[in-house]
Every structure is written in C-alpha cells, then in structure tokens.
Structure 1
Amino acid sequence: MQLSQPVREENHPLLQLLILGVNAAIGLGIFLVIGFIICVLIYGLDLIHNMDWITGKDLKYIGALKILVTAQQIGFFLVPAIVLAIFEGKKPQRFYGFKTPKIDLLGIVFLLMLFSVPLMGWINEQNMNMHLPKFLSDLEKWMTDKESEAAITTKAILAGTSVGALVINLLVIAVTPAICEELIFRGGLQRTLGRWFKNPHVAIWTSAIIFSTIHFQFFGFFPRMFLGAAFGYIYFWTGSLWYPMFAHFINNGYAVVIAWYMQRNKIPIEKADDLNIAWYGYIISAILTIALFWFLKKKSANERPMSETEINSPK
C-alpha cells in the first residue's frame, strides 16, 4: 500500500521575507557584474572612461544601458522570487500560481488598463503638483533632482523611431518588468505578507507601497502605488500571475508605443502627459475602471471560488 507524503508546511513569513531580501541584494550584485561584462565585450573598454551612459546622458552606449537595466530586473526581482520557491521545495509555477489564463478575463484586464489611462493620468498630475512643507524644502529639491535624472534616463531608453527600437524597448521596458516585478512584488512579497497578516487587503496595499517606493520616482508615487494595488487585486481575485503580468505589460507597453509614435511624428515626448481631457472624462474613466474591477472580481469568483481571508497560496 502506497501512502502519499504529507505536504511540507511553508517556513515562517519573516524567514521568507529575509530570503527575498538577501537574495535580492546578492542577485543584483551578481547580475550587474554579468551585465557590465557583457557591455564591455560588446562595446569595448571605451565605455569605462566615460560613465555618463549609465544615466542616459550619452546615447552612444544606450544599448549598454538597456543591458544593465535588464540585468538589474533579473537579479533584483526575478532571482529572489525563484530562489524562494526553490527554498520551499516547490516549482515556481505551482508556488506562485500560473494557472492557464482565460481569454475573457484577459479581455477584461485589457479594457481595465485601457479605460483607466485618463484616471491614472489625473492622479499623476495631482501627484506632480504636490509640494512638501517649507521646512522640507531641501528634501523636495533632492526629490526633484532625482526625478529629473530619472526622466533623462527614461527618455534615453525610449529613444528610437525604428520598428527594431520599438521591439527592443517593449522587451526591456514592458516584457521584462512585467515578468520580474510581478514575480517578486505580487508573487513573492504579497503572497508572503498575506500569510503573515492573514489579511489580503493589508498585504496588497503594503506590497503596492513598497512597489512604488522602490522605484524612487517620488512625483509618481501615488499613481504607481495605485497601479501596484490594482495588480495585487487582479492577482488575488484570479489566482494566477499571468493576469497581473499582462496588466503590467499593457501599462508599460502603452507608454513605450506612445513614446515611439510621438518620436516618429517629431512630437516632444514630454507632451505625452498632456491628455487635454475634460473633467467629465476623468469621471467616466473612474466609473468604467471601478465597474471593470467589479466585473473582474465577479467573473473570477465564478470560475475560482476562494475565501476572502485566503490570498494566493497554491497548494
């Protein structure tokens, strides 16, 4: 008579968080070194003499910058998530939940991301117009300087008008972050915090805050936080990482395509945020976004019943 082996209980959430943190630091260091070596092999030792390309100020080595950005994503986000699953003795696809996505749910997620664009644009505008108290003026100046530096880097990475540039930018800015960041923030962090707090909403919003904070773009903190929460609820309701990955790809891919289109038509990229939408357009966007969230939750519940206190813990 053959008896099935009992399922091993997972380690304490604090230990899982420690594993994620330690391996994020190790993975980042290792893959940045690997990425830099690849850059030297491709572009030669000349790029070492002038390191302006790391901030996007020297477009001659923009390819090297994209390589480092990709290496950072893999080492800092993907590696620790995979290591955690292996440490728990499970395959990542089972540990995090990669249930085959359904076309109808993917369609809802697509519409959700599309119709939320004006709402997120309004939130971003309000965030950019925020100011700290006068006694924190030095801090605000530092934040503004960091934001300007990030804008230069982002603009450099998005540069290009060819179809090849569009494909590469989609891979670097949309595909890679969608996979790597969702694995660590929704799969690793949100899942672990859910086990710790026993409250999915606390886990989702805590993960979203960390997700936004770690990007170090302070004047985009709130829209990125709300995006993180949206991805978190999509993961919670559907039980599959494919859906938040798809949502993340649509969000980033939209920005890449818009930037590419504007450059091809000689329109300044800075005008991408100028939506020029009437006030009622934002209200319509908010209503449609909320309605689609409700529909996604209802549709997912019919296909995957789950307890409100359970959060993405595949057996």
Structure 2
Amino acid sequence: MGYLRQYSPFLQLITFLGLWFAFMLLYSLFLAGFFPAISGGYTIGQMEDTKVWGDPAFVRGLKIVQFLYTLVSFLVPGLIFAYLAHPRPAVYMGLAQRPRTLQLLLALLVVFCALPLVNVLGEWNSTWPVSQSLRDLEELATKQTKLLLNMPDIGTMLFNLLLLALLPAIAEEVFFRGVLQRILTAWVKNGWAAAIIAAIIFSAIHMQFLGFMPRLLLGFLMGAIYLVTGNLWLAIAGHFLNNGLQVVLVYLYQAKMISYDAMKDEHVPAMYGLFSALVAGLLIWQLYKKARAAGQAFALPPEPGDEEQAAETDNDSIFKDH
C-alpha cells in the first residue's frame, strides 16, 4: 500500500483519472455485451425507447445498470486509488473516525438549509440557452429517473433508498471528496479552491447541463463539510439526506400521503435563496469550530517518505496557516 506516495499531486491526478477511465471502459464493454441478458432481451439502443419502459424486465435491467454504474465508475476506482496512495486508506479518505453526533446534525442541517438556494439555482439554470437536442436528452434522463422512482410499495421505496441514495452517497463521496478533492488540495495548496474544482467536476460528470448549478452547489457543500472536518462520513450523510429526501417525498406523493410533488419544479423567491445561503454558511462555520475544538480537521496526504505522518490520524488543520 502507498505505492503512489512518491508521485507528485499532478501525476497522482493523472493516475487517478486514468484509473477512472479504465473502469468506465470496462463498464461500457459490459453494458454493450450483457445488457440484453439482464433486461429481458432488450438492447442498449432500446434504453431510449419509451415503448419498452412498461416491461418490468426492462426496469429491472435499468436498475442493475444504475447499480453497476455507481459501483464500477466511482466506488471501485476510488477505493483502489486510496489503497495505492496511502498505507492506511481509511485515514487517507477520512473514514477512520466515527462522526460525532453534534457534527452529524450540523452537517445534515447544512444540506437541508441550503435546499432553497439549490431550488433557486435550479430554476435559473433551467433558463440557460442550450440546444434542443440537449434539452431532449435532459428530458429523457428525467423520464428515466421517474421510471426508477415508480414505487408502488414501501419495499420498492426502501430498495430505492439503497440504490439511489445510500450507494451513490458513499461511492461519489469516496471518489470526488475522499480522493479527488484530496489530490487537488495537495496540488493547488488551497482547500477551498480544491473543493470548488472537485464540485465542478462532480457536476460536469453527470452530463445534465440544465441541472449543473444546483449539483455544483451540492458538491461544494459536501466538499466544504469534508474540508472543515476531515471526516468523509459527514459528507456522505449530507449526500444521503439530499438523495434520500427526494426518494421519500416522491414515495409519499405517489402513496397520496402528501400533496407536494418533489419531481415538479416550483418557484422559490430569490430572497429565500439568499437567506438559505447565509444560514448554510453560518452552519459550516459552526461545524468548523466544533471540529477544531475536537482536534479534527482536514489534513493533506503525507509527504513521500514521511512514515510517521502516514501513521497518524488527521489531526492538523488545513486552516492552521491561514
């Protein structure tokens, strides 16, 4: 373990992206060869044909594809790189320490209180001038999401919490914050800049341009939580809250328990968004102070050859010199 520690941050970044590309290629080859076997005989080309979407076998295949995409594209390359980059991968990613109760509550509140601003940005983002072909792709992706979120019973809802909320929260935070943001921090020597860059890449990889800004904000919030605490579990919890809340609200609407449709865009006044940003910022500051008081904070990966530092848990704050 730790074979990549002698590489510069730039070479680590290139290695990590190359690893990601290799697993994306493997995933694409698997999809091309085995999708008919897992979807009842349908081809990849038929994934865009809404006429077959009513077949339970096709929906089952679509869920398997979603599971494999999250696992192979994000979780596996992230874990492999962490294993190769540090003698203690859990320490490297910020998974070695259990989150404290108050910190967990603050992290969840950061995400929850920022949702009005997310909606404001989403409404603005939807007005961006993009080509009709891109809008058609966005509409197709939205329809496929609605197909996956069709939940006739609570068992399906619980499965969707696992598939669409918990697994993506773990996999994407490992990839984008636990590895990518750490590499970028070591490269650019600025934790906040690294959090922004990682959030931009996080949003861009999803390839949904009309949802780019709200996803960018959410990615930055997860990066900020990770930056001020050094604990990836807190970012995972915030990510899970955002995704899981959507799943639960959609289920409650479909079960006619609430009248609010979470799949529909609703107007949120800009003033609410500004207040939301202020509250979220104050909560991040409180989270930072609690982490400092507990002796926790984000630490850069150890320098090559520094075995003593590699054996320590993350005790030194990235804010120490600022």
Where on the TM-score scale, by shorter chain, does this alignment land: which range?
0.7 to 0.9
5+ residue gaps, structure 1: 1-5, 132-138
In 1, the alpha carbon distance for the partners of 2:199 and 2:69 equals 20
1:22 equivalent among 14, 18, 22: 18
Evaluate the alpha carbon distance shift between residue 10 and residue 269 of structure 1 in structure 2; reply closer, same or farther with a 3 A threshold.
farther
Task: Please tell me whether residue 120 in structure 1 is matched to residue 118 in structure 2.
Answer: yes
In 2, the alpha carbon distance for the partners of 1:36 and 1:59 equals 22
Query: In terms of mean alpha carbon deviation, does 94-103 or 14-23 score higher?
Result: 14-23
In 2, the alpha carbon distance for the partners of 1:143 and 1:259 equals 26
- 2:291 and 2:297 in contact (8 A); partners too: no
Number of residue pairs aligned between Structure 1 and Structure 2: 298
Task: Please tell me whether residue 177 in structure 1 is matched to residue 174 in structure 2.
Answer: no
> TM-score, normalized by length of structure 1?
0.84
In 1, the alpha carbon distance for the partners of 2:34 and 2:74 equals 20
Partner of 1:52: 46
**What's the offset of the Cα at 1:283?**
4.2
| Aligned amino acid, residue 97 of structure 1 | G
| Aligned amino acid, residue 198 of structure 2 | S
* SS class of match (2:42): helix
* SS class of match (2:62): helix
Partner of 2:68: 71
> TM-score, normalized by length of structure 2?
0.82
**What's the offset of the Cα at 1:54?**
6.1
Partner of 2:265: 273
Partner of 2:319: none
In 1, the alpha carbon distance for the partners of 2:268 and 2:86 equals 51
Partner of 1:288: 279
Partner of 1:204: 195
**What's the offset of the Cα at 1:269?**
4.7
In 2, the alpha carbon distance for the partners of 1:9 and 1:92 equals 12
1:102 equivalent among 97, 100, 103: 100
- 2:59 and 2:148 in contact (8 A); partners too: yes
* SS class of match (1:47): coil
Evaluate the alpha carbon distance shift between residue 56 and residue 30 of structure 1 in structure 2; reply closer, same or farther with a 3 A threshold.
farther
1:114-153 alignment to 2 at 5 Å?
A: 114-131=112-129, 139-153=130-144
Task: Please tell me whether residue 219 in structure 1 is matched to residue 249 in structure 2.
Answer: no
Q: Identity of counterpart residues, as a percentage?
A: 30
Partner of 1:86: 83
- 1:190 and 1:232 in contact (8 A); partners too: yes
Partner of 2:149: 158
In 1, the alpha carbon distance for the partners of 2:145 and 2:3 equals 46
Partner of 2:185: 194
- 1:190 and 1:203 in contact (8 A); partners too: yes
Evaluate the alpha carbon distance shift between residue 173 and residue 55 of structure 1 in structure 2; reply closer, same or farther with a 3 A threshold.
farther
Query: In terms of mean alpha carbon deviation, does 24-33 or 214-223 score higher?
Result: 24-33
| Aligned amino acid, residue 14 of structure 1 | F
Cα distance per residue 1:221-270 (max 9 Å; x no partner): 11111111111111111111101011100011111111111222296957
In 1, the alpha carbon distance for the partners of 2:275 and 2:167 equals 32
* SS class of match (2:131): helix
- 1:179 and 1:245 in contact (8 A); partners too: yes
**What's the offset of the Cα at 1:15?**
2.3
* SS class of match (1:273): coil
Partner of 1:136: none
In 1, the alpha carbon distance for the partners of 2:119 and 2:270 equals 12
* SS class of match (2:119): helix
Query: In terms of mean alpha carbon deviation, does 24-33 or 231-240 score higher?
Result: 24-33
* SS class of match (1:101): coil
- 2:86 and 2:92 in contact (8 A); partners too: no
| Aligned amino acid, residue 68 of structure 1 | V
In 2, the alpha carbon distance for the partners of 1:88 and 1:228 equals 23
In 1, the alpha carbon distance for the partners of 2:175 and 2:50 equals 26
